[in-house]
């Protein structure tokens, strides 16, 4: 199983910089702006620090997936740069199911603004763009990709040459596609999806394996980040459960929702998490429910 799955939005594009570009350049051919190129180079260094654990881990490998759009492929090129030697890269796969939501062909700017206003009234998930896709359509193809990915993870086909390597998947895609990836992965509802904010250019989300083998955003990201992204307290509770919890320890637990102090280092406490019969060094700070 990969230790991390890192979702990265592409750098600023010429279309982000000037939406009029969409009127005469096909969406998939839009390139990065100069600012976007710099963003991609910078985020590559940040991601390498994450997967190498600030240089302390040497037994890591990466497998890249990328949307077929020009701006995502350019972002990937800058992420790799000279930061990821060939012996660390297992492969690069272009994956069409990770492409941007289709808004039709050449996009008139005024028509695009009207579509966005109508979509906000109708509901972002179900509204289908004329001659294009709804978020629900994108969700379906992202779900198809995840079914493929899960099968490959279960059969260890992603890194069958040396399963002992610490594998990291890096997926370079688009803002909405990333949100729908997370929605499918964590089984979030449509209402919860509507509360999420779109990732900024070259912003990334890290899903990392927790104590019990579940992927969680809370293993890497701070709670204030999760709140800023639009996760509700219920969704954050779920992320913490995935990262550190067990049914035995969380069955009668209420998390402190507005505090980032979820752990302490007191030993011999009843709150210790148990894994494989041994106690871990960190525990969840909790309030026992009253009967």
Q: Which of 10, 174, 221, 237 is catalytic?
A: 10
**Exposed, middle or buried, 232 (CB in 10 Å: 0-12/13-18/19+)?**
middle
Measured in whole angstroms, the distance separating CA 266 from the mean position of its chain's CA atoms is 33
Terminal alpha carbon distance of the chain: 40
C-alpha distances in Å from residue 66, one per residue of 59, 133, 177: 23, 20, 12
Do the annotations mark residue 141 as ligand-binding?
no
- The verdict on whether 10 is a catalytic residue reads yes
Do the annotations mark residue 15 as ligand-binding?
yes
Do the annotations mark residue 71 as ligand-binding?
yes
Do the annotations mark residue 111 as ligand-binding?
yes
Strand partners, 263: 284
User: Per this entry, what is the length of the chain?
Assistant: 291
Do the annotations mark residue 78 as ligand-binding?
no
Strands (E), the chain: 4-9, 60-66, 89-94, 166-173, 204-209, 215-216, 253-254, 263-264, 272-275, 278-284, 287-288
Do the annotations mark residue 238 as ligand-binding?
no
3-state DSSP assignment of residue 137: helix
Do the annotations mark residue 245 as ligand-binding?
no
Encoded tokens for 97:
């199911």
Do the annotations mark residue 42 as ligand-binding?
no
**Exposed, middle or buried, 219 (CB in 10 Å: 0-12/13-18/19+)?**
buried
Q: Which of 70, 100, 133, 214 is catalytic?
A: 100
Encoded tokens for 280:
């871990």
Do the annotations mark residue 9 as ligand-binding?
yes
Do the annotations mark residue 77 as ligand-binding?
no
Q: According to the 3-state scheme, what is the secondary structure of 196-242? A: CCCCCCCCEEEEEECCCCCEEHHHCCCHHHHHHCCCCHHHHHHHHHH
Q: From the annotation, which residues make up the binding site? A: 9-16, 71, 111
The residues carrying an active-site annotation are 10, 100
Q: From the annotation, which residues make up the binding site for substrate? A: 9-16, 71, 111
């Amino acid at each position: 199983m990969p230790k991390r799955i890192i979702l990265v939005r592409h750098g600023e594009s010429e279309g982000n910089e000037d939406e009029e570009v969409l009127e005469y350049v096909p969406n998939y051919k839009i390139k990065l702006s100069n600012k976007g190129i710099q963003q991609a180079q910078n985020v590559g260094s940040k991601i390498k620090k994450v997967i190498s654990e600030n240089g302390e881990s040497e037994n890591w490998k990466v497998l890249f997936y990328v949307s077929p759009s020009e701006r995502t492929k350019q972002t990937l090129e800058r992420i790799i740069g000279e930061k990821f030697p060939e012996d660390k890269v297992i492969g690069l796969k272009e994956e069409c199911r990770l492409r941007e939501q289709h808004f039709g062909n050449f996009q008139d700017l005024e028509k695009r603004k009207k579509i966005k206003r109508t979509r906000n009234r109708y509901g972002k998930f179900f509204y289908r763009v004329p001659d294009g896709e709804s978020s629900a359509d994108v969700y379906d193809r992202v779900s198809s990709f995840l079914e493929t990915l899960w099968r490959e993870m279960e059969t260890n086909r992603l890194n069958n040459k040396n399963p002992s390597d610490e594998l990291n998947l890096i997926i370079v895609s688009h803002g909405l596609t990333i949100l729908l990836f997370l929605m499918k992965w964590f089984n979030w509802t449509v209402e919860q999806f509507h509360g999420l904010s779109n990732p900024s250019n070259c912003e990334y989300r890290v899903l990392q394996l927790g104590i019990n083998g579940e992927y969680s955003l809370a293993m890497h990201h701070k709670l204030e980040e999760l709140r800023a992204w639009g996760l509700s307290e219920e969704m954050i509770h779920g992320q913490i459960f995935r990262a550190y919890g067990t049914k035995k320890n969380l069955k009668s637990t209420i998390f402190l929702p507005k505090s980032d102090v979820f752990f302490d280092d007191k030993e011999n406490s009843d709150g210790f998490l148990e894994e494989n019969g041994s106690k871990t060094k960190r525990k969840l700070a909790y309030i026992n429910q009253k009967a």
